[in-house]
Amino acid sequence: MRDRSFAPSRILIYLVVTLFAAAYLAPLVIVVLNSLRTNEEIAQSSMIGWPQHWAWGNYALAWSGFCLAETCAGIRPYMLNSALITIPATIFSTLLGAVAGYAVSLWRFRGDNWIYGIVTLGLFLPQQMRLLPWTIVLRDIGLINTLSGLVLIHTIQGLSFTVLFCRNYYVAIPQELIRAARIDGAGFFRIFWRIILPLSSPILIVTVIWQFTHIWNEFLYGVTFTTGQQQPVTAALIALSAPVADIPKHGVQSAAVIIAALPTLLIYLFGGRYFVRGLTAGAVK
Amino acid sequence: MAALSIRALSKRYANLEVLKGIDLDIESGEFTVLVGPSGCGKSTLLNIVAGLDRASDGTIEIGGRVVNDVPPKDRDIAMVFQSYALYPSMTVRQNITFGMECRGIAKAEQEKALANVARLLQIEPLLARKPSQLSGGQRQRVAMGRALVRDPLLFLFDEPLSNLDAKLRVEMRMEIKRLHQRIGATIIYVTHDQIEAMTMATRIAVMHRGVVQQFADPDTIYRYPANLFVARFMGSPPMNTMPARLEADAGGPVVVIGAGRPDEVRLRLQGYDAAASYVGREVVLGIRPECIAEGDRVFSGAVGPPVIVTAPVELVEPTGAETIVLLRLGGEPAQARISPDIRPTPGATASFALDTRRLCLFDPETERLIA
């Protein structure tokens, strides 16, 4: 039987939770509402208000008509840039992280803990600290201001997380499986491909969601290493928010922000429950 | 031909010596059980034989070939693990054929080998299932099928029954023994369960602290344990061991329990010539619980009447098949196995018959068997 009585403590809990939810959701609500108001309406009243006319046109303009960096193609090309960076970097960093996590957890070798420690140390280094080294690397291999350069950065930086996730998932797999497979005659990659990978979907889903969200939302590297047409959408949004006309275009800008956030929002909506399930998969045997 | 011979094998981890100079020769077709308490090194030894772990010193020969530097897959062995280690994402069929697939054996041949093993183990209806859809006993059978399909020189079993419930364990024990009798394979079987060792083995290696204490057939291990450790480890309830004194009179040597006490027990020894040099000294006496029985028991094959002693009873444990009695012999605690329908009263005294033909004497210093 569920407890249906409303004790005072219960009311307090709901009150606090509601307040927190409101605080977190308020910016999203304001942006969504503004994306549906005309620029004039926002300029004449305030940033907070209910749309008087549903200005769906904002979205069309933001997507393909708005002028940015001397071209008037909206944020569509930048969305494409972000996809071309995020999708390969997510795939590469997840696969490499899975192989590396499998190696350090199930194939114990001399110094394995050191390698694991050094790779995950990357989690604790501030992003700003890594800017200069990456500048030198990208310059020397000629990948400054290219999408491939950002793919490389995000693949390598992402390894810290993906190795951590995968290693912690794989340590729960019994060593005896590996031993049995070695006696059966399977080697490192065959064991990974045939035995470990089929067991990995919970952690791979977690890693993909995590990597996709982080790489898509990443701003600093995008704005530092790319300019103009090569920028990912997060960097392009800044250009969009600069005052280009007499009238601030908050409506269109809000619509652009919503479009830019859409992929990660969708990933969260459809993959969120797998994310939570995957994170706790190793905890309960 | 020796299927396996191990020479002066040792294994050290940093400053911990896990195996100290193991020598073993195992003949083809033998069912050898490595038995010992946890931490005795038996699983490490098995892993080294399998090639999953490296020896610090010594050599291992399988079928006359030194395999120290041969990887596991080329050692001509198969192994059954404690957790079965079935590949979770594969069906039973794929689990069994995976090894053949890795070695590049033709599909038709794989099917033939699979069919043979499936018939032998009666797992044909399970072939399309995943391990998670199998019961404990079925998983055990599939794990054995995966080993059998290789037809190796040597089968290695690492505590394969310890995850099963008591009833199933007894069934599978018989099944493994029957399988050995049918296919005549050479098996090395690791367990901590001395009953498994006694019931299945053709020879038992009792291990303790990285040393093989005794390597012999089950009867010898049971009847003539090489030292006190083996005596106390093998058998359930274990052998009673107690301090005693060896004396001699006109009739020959006599072992005295609780010498000088009013209730001292004197047992005349016959055929214990090796003990002659211990006359007048302290020894450790070993008596199996089944050698102490109710007063009117006639031991099979006994010549003349048995030795009868009167002893105080402390505790009675009826098991159904027999009654275990905790009594005092010359003040020393001892367990006896008496007929199930006899229930002595705790606190009172009762008379017991002793079978003195199967006593063991141990040196109290070295703990080795004297006679």
Please indicate, yes or no, whether residues B126 and B52 belong to a single structural domain of this protein: yes
Facing residue for A179 by CB, picked from B81, B87, B98: B81
How high does pLDDT run on average in chain A? 87
- 3-state secondary structure (DSSP) of residue A110: coil
- 3-state secondary structure (DSSP) of residue A152: helix
- Chosen domain end from B209, B233, B257: B233
In a domain, B252, yes or no: yes
pLDDT at B218 over 50: yes
Work out how many domains chain B is built from and give that number.
2
User: Does residue B148 belong to the interface with chain A, where contact is any CB pair within 8 Å?
Assistant: no
Q: What's the mean pLDDT in B84-110?
A: 93
pLDDT at B82 over 50: yes
pLDDT at B151 over 60: yes
Q: What's the mean pLDDT in B160-175?
A: 88
Range with the lowest mean pLDDT among A62-66, A201-205, B287-291?
A: A62-66
- The domains located in chain A, with CATH, are 76-284 (1.10.3720.10)
Q: What percent of chain B has pLDDT over 70?
A: 100
pLDDT in tens, B338-365: 999 999 999 999 999 999 989 999 999 9
Chain B CA closest to residue A181? B99
In a domain, B371, yes or no: no
In a domain, B94, yes or no: yes
Q: What's the mean pLDDT in B71-91?
A: 92
Please indicate, yes or no, whether residues B84 and B170 belong to a single structural domain of this protein: yes
Please indicate, yes or no, whether residues B66 and B195 belong to a single structural domain of this protein: yes
Q: Which two structure tokens, joined as six digits, stand for A198? A: 């089929």
> Domain containing B338 — which CATH number?
2.40.50.140
CB contact under 8 A, A176 and B103: no
In a domain, B369, yes or no: no
pLDDT at B75 over 70: yes
- Chosen domain end from B173, B208, B233: B233
| pLDDT at res. B302 | 80
pLDDT in tens, A237-267: 887 776 555 566 788 888 989 999 999 989 8
Please indicate, yes or no, whether residues B210 and B281 belong to a single structural domain of this protein: no
Q: How far apart are CA B370 and CA B352, in angstroms?
A: 26
Q: What's the mean pLDDT in B242-266?
A: 90
Top-confidence residue, B24 or A253? B24
pLDDT at B71 over 90: yes
Please indicate, yes or no, whether residues B248 and B184 belong to a single structural domain of this protein: no
Residues on chain B touching A200 (C-beta within 8 angstroms): none
pLDDT in tens, A10-52: 899 999 999 999 999 999 999 999 888 888 788 788 778 888 8
User: Does residue B81 belong to the interface with chain A, where contact is any CB pair within 8 Å?
Assistant: yes
Please indicate, yes or no, whether residues B88 and B108 belong to a single structural domain of this protein: yes
Please indicate, yes or no, whether residues B173 and B271 belong to a single structural domain of this protein: no
> Domain containing B76 — which CATH number?
3.40.50.300
Degrees, nearest 5: CA angle B125-B130-B132? 115
| pLDDT at res. A284 | 38
Top-confidence residue, A167 or A4? A167
Kindly indicate the confidence band of residue A285, based on its pLDDT and cuts at 50, 70 and 90: very low
Please indicate, yes or no, whether residues B221 and B204 belong to a single structural domain of this protein: yes
HSE-up of A257 (CA within 13 Å, CB side)? Answer: 18
pLDDT in tens, A99-137: 999 999 998 888 888 999 999 998 898 888 999 999 999
| pLDDT at res. A246 | 54
Continuous segment of H or E residues that includes residue B353: strand B349-354
Provide φ and ψ at A97, rounded to 5°: -65, -40
User: Which range marks the domain in which residue B217 is found?
Assistant: 2-233
Please indicate, yes or no, whether residues B187 and B263 belong to a single structural domain of this protein: no
pLDDT at A165 over 50: yes
Please indicate, yes or no, whether residues B77 and B158 belong to a single structural domain of this protein: yes
| pLDDT at res. A283 | 43
Place of tokens 């912690």: A168
Please indicate, yes or no, whether residues B118 and B207 belong to a single structural domain of this protein: yes
Please indicate, yes or no, whether residues B22 and B42 belong to a single structural domain of this protein: yes
Predicted TM-score of the model (pTM): 0.82
> Which residue in A175, A184, A194 has the most chain B C-beta atoms within 10 A of its own C-beta, making it the best mutation to test that interface?
A184
| pLDDT at res. A159 | 94
Facing residue for B73 by CB, picked from A185, A195, A198: A185
In a domain, B370, yes or no: no
In a domain, B367, yes or no: no
Whether A82 and A216 have beta carbons less than 8 Å apart is answered as yes
- Chosen domain end from B200, B233, B266: B233
CB contact under 8 A, B85 and A177: yes
CB proximity list for A223: less than 8 A, separation 6 or greater: A231, A234, A235, A238
How high does pLDDT run on average in chain B? 92
Range with the lowest mean pLDDT among A53-57, A155-159, B48-52, B363-367?
A: A53-57
- 3-state secondary structure (DSSP) of residue B33: strand
B102 Cα to chain A: minimum distance (Å): 6
Top-confidence residue, B181 or B1? B181
pLDDT at A186 over 90: yes
In a domain, B290, yes or no: yes
| pLDDT at res. B301 | 84
Helices B92-102 and B107-121 sit at what angle, rounded to 10 degrees?
Answer: 130
Chain A CA closest to residue B47? A179
In a domain, B354, yes or no: yes
Q: Which residue pairs from A72-77 have beta carbons closer than 8 angstroms and sit at least 24 positions apart in sequence?
A: A74/A256, A75/A233, A75/A236, A75/A237, A75/A240, A75/A256, A75/A259, A75/A260, A77/A229
Q: What's the mean pLDDT in B161-185?
A: 89
